[in-house]
């Protein structure tokens, strides 16, 4: 696990140096006391400076973010990024303001409003739902806060509300990214009706346009990185086991992870330092050998000096989503030049030996289909209450069929992924073979092999996604099934 943390620090350093070089993150700017910062761009450090100086309170912040949500969520631009706001948020903010005056702040997230993806559980007594965007979970009562929510509360953060998402983290069928039964179609804030990517669509949109100070997303395969790219954010997909998945509506324990989506790498590092760590309710986190480091320590302007950064060209030039997009390629080449200017050596190409096999492999789907049925059934079973009566995946499929007015977007009828998962029969020999081959392709003959062969400190490549095409379509206007 110490190696994993080291690689995380390297990644943070790469991204932070890029942003510092562009003038996005500086200690001087972030620490400057302002009366009330522009919520479109306000960083956690700027907000903390204002709170510490008494220029505004956490109650003021919550009210301001509520006003921003009211302005553009269902009215105006109708971004549909937020499913619901927290009726307890103002009381939480008042308590944090009082504590700040008496004892000081608990952490850099003290009194900071955080928006959660709606697959991250919060106790029902707080007044919010946890539904993964599905009416099948509306009114359900979870047994406890999610592990990452407990850490946020301990740090003094305020839970602002729940963000829209691709329903069930896009593990349902061939539906557009950012659509859920409860929330409707979320849309990119930069271009009308453009794809926000997913499945952490609402988290990405909300962070990009200042509907919350920071947001949390989850990723199984691309669900933090893709919406972060499409919404111009800094997103971190932590290594599985670095952050707890306890209390998160699951897809797969082998790939699910929770991470920050923010407007700067500094903010992302601050949030990751809070939510990472061991959780007895998630065995994967127990592999961490020691306490989580402060990831902000990796944010140094000279961190890339002498580092070797590889470009796995083959991995993304053959990617049907992003590989040959000229705009992506232009910006990527500019980023490489910035990395060079900061003292790093670019090794190009530094290909993954298994790249072609990864693209053509179906092993991931085998693993996810099996895991989803097992773990979703367990999630439903653990609920203290569920008014819909849904208790397992089979019930969910029937519920969707019985309520097309709630659970089918106009012109679409797709539960193909749910049906495929329901047909699985458990973790058999084929499952374990697929899981082992996944690890071999991705790690042993993939990333690890490239790092070793070229003596690299890190790999860098563009995130997938097109921001200028209609939601749910590729640049050729074909329907696409985006990240989960």
| pLDDT recorded at residue 414 | 86
Element (H, E) at 102: helix 89-103
Tell me: pLDDT of 290 over 90: no
Q: Which of 43, 58, 117, 244 is catalytic?
A: 117
pLDDT in tens, 116-156: 999 999 999 999 999 999 999 999 999 999 999 999 999 99
pLDDT in tens, 46-87: 999 999 999 999 999 999 999 999 999 999 999 999 999 999
Q: Which of 177, 200, 201, 223 is catalytic?
A: 223
| pLDDT recorded at residue 191 | 87
**Structural tokens at position 479:** 């329907």
| pLDDT recorded at residue 10 | 43
| pLDDT recorded at residue 22 | 41
Q: What mean pLDDT is predicted for residues 177-192?
A: 94
| pLDDT recorded at residue 317 | 65
Distance CA 281, CA 288 (A): 14
Cβ distance 140 to 131 under 8 Å? Answer: yes
pTM (two decimals): 0.90
Comparing CA positions, the residue from 461, 457, 149 lying closest to residue 298 is 457
The beta strand positions in 303-410, using DSSP E, are 308-310, 345-347
pLDDT in tens, 235-252: 999 999 999 999 999 999
Reported confidence tier of residue 210, pLDDT bands at 50, 70, 90 = very high
Distance CA 387, CA 478 (A): 38
Tell me: pLDDT of 367 over 50: yes
Reported confidence tier of residue 324, pLDDT bands at 50, 70, 90 = low
Tell me: pLDDT of 338 over 50: yes
Beta strand 345-347 pairing with 184-185? unpaired
Q: What mean pLDDT is predicted for residues 396-424?
A: 92
Comparing CA positions, the residue from 310, 255, 263, 264 lying closest to residue 284 is 255
| pLDDT recorded at residue 17 | 47
Q: What mean pLDDT is predicted for residues 354-370?
A: 94
Comparing CA positions, the residue from 388, 79, 16 lying closest to residue 209 is 79
Q: Distances in Å between the alpha carbon of 252 and those of 117, 219, 256, 379?
A: 17, 10, 6, 12
| pLDDT recorded at residue 346 | 99
Q: Identify the DSSP state of 69.
A: H
Is 177 one of the catalytic residues? Answer: no
Q: Which of 57, 58, 136, 199 is catalytic?
A: 199
Distance CA 219, CA 255 (A): 8
| pLDDT recorded at residue 469 | 39
Q: What mean pLDDT is predicted for residues 94-115?
A: 99
Distance CA 299, CA 12 (A): 7
Tell me: pLDDT of 440 over 60: yes
pLDDT mean across residues, the chain: 89
Q: What mean pLDDT is predicted for residues 29-57?
A: 82
| pLDDT recorded at residue 466 | 41
| pLDDT recorded at residue 28 | 36
Distance CA 290, CA 282 (A): 16
Cβ distance 251 to 171 under 8 Å? Answer: yes
pLDDT in tens, 464-484: 644 333 444 444 444 434 345
2-303: which CATH number, 1.20.140.10, 3.90.1300.10, 3.30.200.20, 3.40.50.720?
Answer: 3.90.1300.10
Cβ distance 160 to 86 under 8 Å? Answer: yes
Element (H, E) at 259: strand 257-262
Is 199 one of the catalytic residues? Answer: yes
Cβ distance 373 to 422 under 8 Å? Answer: yes
**Structural tokens at position 174:** 């061939």
**Structural tokens at position 4:** 């994993």
Tell me: pLDDT of 270 over 70: yes
Q: What mean pLDDT is predicted for residues 23-47?
A: 66
Strand, coil or helix: what is 416? helix
- Domain spans of the chain? 2-303
| pLDDT recorded at residue 484 | 58
Is 117 one of the catalytic residues? Answer: yes
Beta strand 345-347 pairing with 257-262? unpaired
Q: What percent of the chain has pLDDT over 90?
A: 78
Distance CA 399, CA 357 (A): 38
Q: Distances in Å between the alpha carbon of 311 and those of 189, 238, 454?
A: 30, 20, 10
Query: Using omega within 30 degrees of 0 as the cis cutoff, is the peptide bond preceding 176 cis?
Result: no
| pLDDT recorded at residue 409 | 84
The beta strand positions in 374-429, using DSSP E, are none
């Amino acid at each position: 696990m110490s190696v994993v943390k080291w690689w995380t620090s390297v990644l943070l350093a790469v991204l932070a140096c890029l942003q510092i070089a562009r003038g996005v993150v500086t200690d001087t700017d972030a620490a400057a006391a302002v009366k009330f910062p522009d919520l479109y761009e306000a960083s956690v450090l700027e907000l903390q400076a204002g709170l510490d100086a008494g220029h505004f309170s956490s109650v003021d912040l919550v009210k301001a973010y509520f006003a921003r949500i009211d302005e553009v969520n269902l009215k105006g631009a109708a971004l549909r990024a937020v499913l619901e706001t927290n009726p307890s948020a103002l009381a939480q903010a008042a308590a944090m303001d009082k504590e700040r005056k008496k004892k000081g702040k608990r952490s850099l997230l003290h009194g900071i409003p955080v928006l959660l993806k709606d697959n991250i559980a919060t106790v029902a007594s707080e007044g919010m739902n946890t539904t993964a965007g599905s009416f099948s979970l509306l009114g359900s009562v979870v047994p406890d806060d999610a592990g990452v929510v407990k850490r946020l509360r301990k740090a003094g953060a305020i839970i602002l509300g729940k963000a829209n998402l691709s329903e069930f983290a896009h593990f349902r069928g061939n539906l557009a990214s950012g659509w859920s039964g409860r929330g409707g179609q979320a849309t990119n804030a930069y271009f009308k009706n453009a794809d926000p990517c997913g499945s952490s669509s609402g988290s990405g949109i909300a962070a990009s346009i200042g509907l919350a100070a920071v947001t949390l997303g989850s990723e199984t395969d691309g669900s933090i990185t893709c919406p972060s790219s499409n919404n111009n954010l800094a997103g971190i997909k932590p290594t599985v086991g670095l952050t707890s998945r306890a209390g998160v509506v699951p897809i797969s324990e082998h790939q699910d992870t929770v991470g920050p989506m923010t407007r700067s790498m500094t903010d992302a590092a601050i949030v990751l330092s809070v939510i990472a760590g061991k959780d007895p309710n998630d065995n994967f986190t127990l592999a961490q050998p020691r306490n989580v480091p402060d990831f902000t320590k990796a944010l140094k302007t000279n961190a890339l000096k002498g580092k070797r950064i590889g470009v796995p060209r083959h991995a993304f030039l053959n990617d049907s989503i992003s590989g040959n997009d000229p705009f992506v390629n232009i910006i990527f080449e500019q980023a490489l030049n910035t990395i060079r200017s900061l003292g790093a050596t670019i090794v190009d190409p530094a290909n993954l030996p298994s790249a072609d096999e990864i693209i053509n492999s179906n092993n991931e789907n085998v693993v996810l289909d099996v895991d989803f049925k097992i773990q979703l059934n367990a999630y439903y079973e653990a609920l203290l209450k569920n008014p819909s009566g849904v208790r397992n995946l089979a019930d969910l499929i029937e519920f969707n069929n019985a309520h097309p007015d709630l659970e089918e977007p106009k012109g679409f009828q797709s539960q193909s992924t749910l049906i495929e998962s329901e047909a699985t029969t458990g973790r058999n020999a084929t499952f374990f073979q697929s899981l082992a081959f996944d690890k071999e392709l991705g790690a042993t003959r993939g990333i690890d092999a490239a790092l070793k062969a070229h003596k690299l400190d890190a790999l860098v490549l563009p995130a997938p996604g097109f921001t200028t095409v209609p939601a749910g379509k590729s640049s050729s206007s074909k329907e696409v099934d985006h990240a989960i």
